[in-house]
Amino acid sequence: MTEAERHTYDVVVIGAGGAGLRAAIEARAHGMRTAIICKSLFGKAHTVMAEGGIAASMGNVNSNDNWQVHFRDTMRGGKFLNHFRMAELHAREAPDRVWELETWGALFDRTKDGRISQRNFGGHEYPRLAHVGDRTGLELIRTLQQQVVALQQQDEREFGDPEARIKVFAEHTVTRILKDGSRVAGVFGYARETGRFFTIEAPAVVLATGGIGKSFKVTSNSWEYTGDGHALALLAGAPLMNMEFVQFHPTGMVWPPSVKGILVTESVRGDGGVLRNSEGDRFMFKYIPDVFKSQYAQGPDEADRWYADPDNNRRPPELLPRDEVARAINNEVKEGRGSPHGGVFLDVSTRMPAEEIKRRLPSMHHQFLELADVDITAEPMEVGPTCHYVMGGVAVDPDTAQAEDVPGLYAAGEVAGGMHGSNRLGGNSLSDLLVFGRRAGLHAAEYAGGIGADRPVVGQQAVDAAAEEALRPFGLAEMVEPDGPPEGGGPPENPYTLHTELQQTMNDLVGIIRREPEMREALQRLARLRARAKQAVVEGHRQFNPGWHLALDLRNMLLVSECVARAALTRTESRGGHTRDDFPTMDREWRRKLLICRLAAGAETAEVTPRPNPAMRRDLMELFDAEELQKYLTDEELQHYSSEDAEGQE
Amino acid sequence: MSYQARFRVWRGDEAGGELTDYEVEVNEGEVVLDIVHRLQATQTPDLAVRWNCKAGKCGSCSAEVNGRPRLMCMTRMSTFSPEETVTITPMRTFPVIKDLVTDVSFNYEKAREIPSFQPPEGVAAGEYRMAQEDVQRSQEFRKCIECFLCQNTCHVVRDHEENKAAFAGPRFLMRQAELEMHPLDARKRRAEEAQEEHGLGYCNITKCCTEVCPEHIHITDNALIPLKERAVDRKYDPLVWLGSKIRRRTG
Ligand SMILES: Cc1cc2nc3c(=O)[nH]c(=O)nc-3n(C[C@H](O)[C@H](O)[C@H](O)COP(=O)(O)OP(=O)(O)OC[C@H]3O[C@@H](n4cnc5c(N)ncnc54)[C@H](O)[C@@H]3O)c2cc1C
Ligand code: SF4
Ligand code: SF4
Ligand code: FES
């Protein structure tokens, strides 16, 4: 029998980023004893790295803004593949979620009349991003962290125990969701510090584990982004959707090599920065696609006027949605007009005074000075695309954030799918975290609260199996040492080497521009890596052992990478964060289909199947004009909406 | 541009440990954390280290490089000569867990002792109005990435285990200052509280904390000294205290 520390809670939240903390605060507010689990220290989750801002149509800078406009921008950014209901809830609720942060102590930058200031960002019609310089994520996570502390202080006063109703299990990693029949029963994992196992029995589990970027070589994401939540959901029997859509942020650092991929915030462009190629040409004007022609300036003069007079000019094409800008940069480099280190130039130095750059973009100034010896107030930056965000994720009910098919499982934040369609707009993630984090916490609490005496139980067998799986890399080490290859064959493998090969494979073969033969090749390589990952061995003991941790993360990265590759191979069109060289155009028929990934019990790879994309509600459809809809919807769909009696048929 | 560098890394756990020598490749543009990662990938996979962002934003990778408290991800290898041996040790003020990873729970306990933001009564969410110049002071302190390098450096607790119970450390005294200067925080007497309960009196404004802060926050000048002044002023003159609160409100 496995030795594991056992706990019991009402709601377990996996993840202490924006989504997880907001969910936990809500669950606790509804009286649930809540546990938060995270792989890093408290306050270090990926959300801390967000820079530019949080999108909410408060209308503080331009009073024409409202939730309908935000909704429209979000759908356009996602090329109409978004779940309309999620996009609607998000746009409606984001302002309240931001204002709430102020009541917990957040200090956003202000407008002249003392309100929260809002900045321009790609794809957003009006200045919409609440921000704190370029460290908005830090403000968000610190505010939520401090609110958790405030709740603990309350418990201290009430019960003499700060952790009576909300406790953070920092540096703990979950490796399995445990079930009782079809229902969630709890989680299993290990404490990183000691290597000891733990289980938490709980009827409701919220996944808030973030993204998958560490499967790619050039990425803005940290070691945490190994797709754990995506894999945990699959392994628990819940489906993923939209996994082919991976966002490559157009501007990552490209030099020196050790910082390649680190993000250069979009605020640089939002605040006036421009992109140029090696010939000094502001090339983005060449890349405005037809669907956006009417909304973007056709030349530099109009674009430059827009910053001061947005009502009478159209926005600069540097602020197109990210997929467009990333592809444009990719193309400039491919055609030989790149910068010395294989990127393009991003320049603010000729656009505003040095002091203003330092005030508006302090951490970019610092980052380039310290890491690349580049003073952005005096010279341009070199930038290129970097893997940044996954639009795909757990298929959830839009209102409750409940994962399909697994009662008791919820998902919010980057790990959930649907909200952003095929491409996320900048700033829409932080707001997504709060809107759906709150909803997930609320509904998880209601579910757990309503379960009464019928609580699911964690079975010993499942715990033993999870422990065995986690110990496998050590077992192998013992097996191989005396007499050669372990059972199952193959030489022992170094997890770091496997990880590097996986990243190279995804980067080269399922990256920003995709082709069928390359994706087939990727799938073959992934299959080989999967076999080799079973032979991963680790040195040393269980206490804080990064090699062991990585060996266990490989399972998740491989599973998720296969989903990405398979879904990408299946979708024979180009849309948002999925660009096919062999199918370069957007196909209106494909908008009606979503690709779903499932893992059958005992199977090693997920299956991908299409299913219909739910049709948008009529009142939301009416927010767009017919001409625009024609670009996205099939004739059949358009007819359906234009016929009088179609109401209520969905 | 590559060369073989000599590194000495502290390896061990709570039971003890020692500096271990490595020879490892260094390439152009790399930082100390890159080298630690190369050691993991090629020589010693179980070398324990914390990191997340690799861009100086999360405050995870704190350690002492050649005896100086630093973020490993922001310490360029080009600041050392190729002949120099680079020594990395864990933060000294906190108990070692393993290798470069220390038990920083002291800081989380102190965080919990500082009374939270108290929202002003009768101001609904969405109705908060504050001027930029009034939020700016607290915003400087909110740049803190909680790397705990200042906590590690401050001589009040570095090598003085006995002071830990009574002293919140620069990071959390600064938290009091942040809330004290927050235009809408409704809690009164924060400066006195810092003095009476969180050990502000132990601080003799040596500025060592400020020197190591990777966010270049003026911890001593902008947070600790003003906090001390307010604590002293108000102790003797209740009107000053009242005045300061009122003046701050009209912004
Ligand atoms: C550099 C950068 C800048 C960005 N800037 C912006 C921006 O300006 N605006 C915007 O809207 N978005 C931005 N984004 C995107 C946004 O920051 C992320 O999408 C978002 O923060 C994800 O939040 P989350 O709560 O879903 O997950 P995270 O904040 O990533 O948190 C995930 C949590 O899950 C935990 N976890 C994961 N797996 C496990 C496991 N197996 N067991 C236990 N715990 C686990 C992790 O430890 C962590 O605590 C940016 C992203 C990056 C990388
Ligand atoms: S200024 Fe005060 S808090 Fe900072 S190091 Fe010196 S004594 Fe410590
Ligand atoms: S104040 Fe500076 S040194 Fe101290 S924890 Fe914060 S960022 Fe680190
Ligand atoms: S890794 Fe985030 S500060 Fe160094």
One domain, residues A27 and A87: yes
C-alpha distance from residue B12 to each of A22, A243, A540, B171 (Å): 37, 42, 12, 28
Residue A639 token pair: 């007819």
* Residue whose CA is at the smallest distance from ligand 2 atom 8: B154
- Average of per-residue pLDDT across B46-67: 95
Which of B142, B147, B179, B216 to mutate: most A Cβ within 10 Å?
A: B142
One domain, residues B121 and B237: yes
Does the beta carbon of B209 sit less than 6 angstroms from any atom of ligand 2?
yes
Instruction: Find out whether A86 and A75 touch, Cβ atoms under 8 Å.
Output: no
Atom of ligand 1 nearest to the CA of A262: 1
Largest CA distance in chain B: 66
One domain, residues A437 and A414: yes
CB contacts, 8 Å: A132 with chain B: 139, 142
3-state helix, strand and coil shares in percent for chain A, rounded to the nearest 5: 40, 15, 40
Question: For residues A495 and A536, what is the distance between their CA atoms, to the nearest angstrom?
Answer: 6
Q: Which of residues A402, A429, A460 is at a domain's end?
A: A460
Of the pLDDT bands very low, low, confident and very high (cuts 50, 70, 90), residue A650 is very low
Please tell me what DSSP assigns to residue A444.
Answer: H
Question: For residues A175 and A325, what is the distance between their CA atoms, to the nearest angstrom?
Answer: 37
- Residue linked to tokens 């996944």: A207
One domain, residues A71 and A193: yes
Which three-class secondary structure state does DSSP give residue A381?
Answer: strand
Residue B251 lies in a domain: no
Please give the share of chain A, as a percent, with pLDDT higher than 70. Answer: 97
Question: For residues A95 and A54, what is the distance between their CA atoms, to the nearest angstrom?
Answer: 10
- The CATH number linked to A366 is 3.90.700.10
Of the pLDDT bands very low, low, confident and very high (cuts 50, 70, 90), residue A480 is very low
One domain, residues B121 and B160: yes
Give the helix ranges, DSSP H, for A514-613: 516-533, 546-570, 588-591
CB contacts, 8 Å: B45 with chain A: 494-496, 538-540, 545-547
What confidence tens digit (pLDDT) does each residue in A529-538 have?
Answer: 999 999 999 9
Instruction: Find out whether A510 and A565 touch, Cβ atoms under 8 Å.
Output: yes
Please give the share of chain B, as a percent, with pLDDT higher than 90. Answer: 89
Question: For residues A32 and A11, what is the distance between their CA atoms, to the nearest angstrom?
Answer: 7
pLDDT at A488: 54
One domain, residues A240 and A255: no
Question: For residues A575 and B85, what is the distance between their CA atoms, to the nearest angstrom?
Answer: 52
One domain, residues B49 and B96: yes
Backbone angles phi, psi at A382, to 5 degrees: -105, 130
Instruction: Find out whether A197 and A178 touch, Cβ atoms under 8 Å.
Output: no
Confidence check: pLDDT of A39 > 90: yes
Residue A339 lies in a domain: yes
What confidence tens digit (pLDDT) does each residue in A79-92 have?
Answer: 999 999 999 999 99
Q: Which of residues B101, B118, B138 is at a domain's end?
A: B101
One domain, residues B44 and B116: no
State yes or no: cis peptide before A482, omega within 30 of 0: no
pLDDT at A648: 46
Please give the share of chain A, as a percent, with pLDDT higher than 90. Answer: 85
| Cβ–Cβ contact B40 with A under 8 A | yes
Residue A207 token pair: 């996944």
Q: Which of residues B101, B119, B139 is at a domain's end?
A: B101
Does the beta carbon of B34 sit less than 6 angstroms from any atom of ligand 3?
no
* Residue whose CA is at the smallest distance from ligand 3 atom 8: B147
- Does the beta-carbon distance from B125 to A100 stay under 8 Å? yes
A256 contacts: CB under 8 Å, gap ≥ 6? A371, A372, B28, B29, B30
Which three-class secondary structure state does DSSP give residue A175?
Answer: strand
- Helix then strand count (H, E) for chain B reads 9, 7
Cα A285 from chain centroid (whole Å): 29
Which amino acid makes up residue A28? Answer: R
- The CATH number linked to B213 is 1.10.1060.10
- Degrees to nearest 5, angle at CA B52 with B49 and B55: 115
Question: For residues A336 and A342, what is the distance between their CA atoms, to the nearest angstrom?
Answer: 9
Residue B93 lies in a domain: yes
In what side-by-side order are the strands of the sheet with A118-119? A54-55, A129-130, A118-119
Which region among A499-508, A565-574, B155-164, B226-235 has the lowest average model confidence (pLDDT)?
A: B226-235
DSSP assignments along A214-254, one per residue:
GGSSSBS--TT-S-HHHHHHHHTT--EE-TT-EEEEEEEE-
Confidence check: pLDDT of A481 > 50: no
| Residue A366: half-sphere exposure toward Cβ, Cα within 13 Å | 17
What confidence tens digit (pLDDT) does each residue in B135-148 have?
Answer: 999 999 999 999 99
Which amino acid makes up residue A596? Answer: I
One domain, residues A348 and A363: yes
- The CATH number linked to A583 is 1.20.58.100
Distance from the CA of A265 to the center of ligand 4, in angstroms?
17
Instruction: Find out whether B86 and B65 touch, Cβ atoms under 8 Å.
Output: yes
CB contacts, 8 Å: B105 with chain A: none
- Structural domain boundaries, residue B161: 105-245
One domain, residues B153 and B182: yes
Mean of the per-residue pLDDT values of chain A: 93
Question: For residues A384 and B103, what is the distance between their CA atoms, to the nearest angstrom?
Answer: 38
Could you tell me how many residues make up chain A? 650
Closest CA to A50 of A127, A135, A119, A120: A135
One domain, residues B141 and B165: yes
Question: For residues B97 and A465, what is the distance between their CA atoms, to the nearest angstrom?
Answer: 29
Question: For residues A277 and A378, what is the distance between their CA atoms, to the nearest angstrom?
Answer: 18
CB contacts, 8 Å: A546 with chain B: 40, 45-49
One domain, residues A10 and A157: yes
For chain A, the domain total comes to: 4
- Degrees to nearest 5, angle at CA A343 with A342 and A346: 155
Residue A102 lies in a domain: yes
Which of A370, A373, A537 to mutate: most B Cβ within 10 Å?
A: A370
Q: Which residue of B has its CA nearest to A256?
A: B29
Residue A631 token pair: 């670009």
| Residue A357: half-sphere exposure toward Cβ, Cα within 13 Å | 22
- Does the beta-carbon distance from A40 to B13 stay under 8 Å? no
Is this complex's ipTM strictly greater than 0.95? no
Cα A543 from chain centroid (whole Å): 30
One domain, residues A212 and A360: no
Question: For residues A223 and B52, what is the distance between their CA atoms, to the nearest angstrom?
Answer: 6
One domain, residues A224 and A108: yes
Which amino acid makes up residue A143? Answer: T
Largest CA distance in chain A: 78
One domain, residues B131 and B231: yes
Question: For residues B230 and B233, what is the distance between their CA atoms, to the nearest angstrom?
Answer: 5
Of the pLDDT bands very low, low, confident and very high (cuts 50, 70, 90), residue A196 is very high
One domain, residues A137 and A275: no
Residue A468 lies in a domain: no
Question: For residues A615 and A621, what is the distance between their CA atoms, to the nearest angstrom?
Answer: 10
| Cβ–Cβ contact B12 with A under 8 A | no
One domain, residues B81 and B114: no
Could you tell me how many residues make up chain B? 251
| Cβ–Cβ contact A169 with B under 8 A | no
- Pairing type for strands A166-169 and A118-119 reads unpaired
One domain, residues B112 and B91: no
Q: Which residue of A has its CA nearest to B146?
A: A43
Buried (b) or exposed (e) across A586-605, using 16+ Cβ within 10 A? bebebbbbbbbbbbeeeeeb
- Pairing type for strands A607-612 and A593-598 reads antiparallel
Q: Which of residues A342, A364, A388 is at a domain's end?
A: A388
Q: Beta-strand (E) ranges in A323-372?
A: 344-347
A-proximal residues of B, 162-191, CB under 8 Å: 179, 182, 185
Which region among A161-170, A467-476, A484-493, B47-56 has the lowest average model confidence (pLDDT)?
A: A484-493
Residue B250 lies in a domain: no
Instruction: Find out whether B18 and B10 touch, Cβ atoms under 8 Å.
Output: yes
Q: Which residue has the higher pLDDT, A255 or A110?
A: A110
| Cβ–Cβ contact B101 with A under 8 A | yes
What confidence tens digit (pLDDT) does each residue in A112-143 have?
Answer: 999 999 999 889 999 999 999 889 999 999 99
Q: Beta-strand (E) ranges in A38-169?
A: 54-55, 118-119, 129-130, 166-169
One domain, residues B86 and B113: no
Does the beta carbon of B71 sit less than 6 angstroms from any atom of ligand 4?
yes
What confidence tens digit (pLDDT) does each residue in A540-558 have?
Answer: 899 999 999 999 999 999 9
Catalytic site residue A322? Answer: yes
Question: For residues A467 and B48, what is the distance between their CA atoms, to the nearest angstrom?
Answer: 22
B-proximal residues of A, 479-498, CB under 8 Å: 494-497
One domain, residues A359 and A384: yes
For chain B, the domain total comes to: 2
Question: For residues A455 and A185, what is the distance between their CA atoms, to the nearest angstrom?
Answer: 8
One domain, residues A347 and A486: no
Residue A375 token pair: 């003073």
Question: For residues A275 and A298, what is the distance between their CA atoms, to the nearest angstrom?
Answer: 15
- Does the beta-carbon distance from A149 to B112 stay under 8 Å? yes
What confidence tens digit (pLDDT) does each residue in A351-398 have?
Answer: 999 999 998 898 899 889 988 999 999 999 999 999 999 999 999 999
Other beta carbons less than 10 A from residue A197's beta carbon = 21
Backbone angles phi, psi at A60, to 5 degrees: -75, -30
Bridge partners (DSSP) of residue A189 are A174, A198
Confidence check: pLDDT of A421 > 60: yes
CB contacts, 8 Å: B141 with chain A: none
Residue A466 lies in a domain: no
pTM of the model: 0.94
One domain, residues A62 and A183: yes
- Structural domain boundaries, residue A629: 618-649
Question: For residues B13 and B101, what is the distance between their CA atoms, to the nearest angstrom?
Answer: 9
Does the beta carbon of B37 sit less than 6 angstroms from any atom of ligand 4?
no
What confidence tens digit (pLDDT) does each residue in A262-280 have?
Answer: 999 888 998 899 999 999 9
Q: How far is A187 from chain B (nearest CA, A)?
A: 24
Of the pLDDT bands very low, low, confident and very high (cuts 50, 70, 90), residue A484 is very low
One domain, residues B39 and B110: no
- The CATH number linked to A428 is 3.50.50.60
Confidence check: pLDDT of A318 > 80: yes
| Cβ–Cβ contact A135 with B under 8 A | yes
Q: Which of residues B101, B135, B160 is at a domain's end?
A: B101
- The CATH number linked to B64 is 3.10.20.30
Residue A521 lies in a domain: yes
- Residue linked to tokens 């010279």: A379
Residue A177 lies in a domain: yes
| Residue A197: half-sphere exposure toward Cβ, Cα within 13 Å | 18
Closest CA to A537 of A573, A566, A496: A496
Residue A611 lies in a domain: no
One domain, residues B198 and B109: yes
Task: Return the ligand number nearest the Cα of B54.
Answer: 4
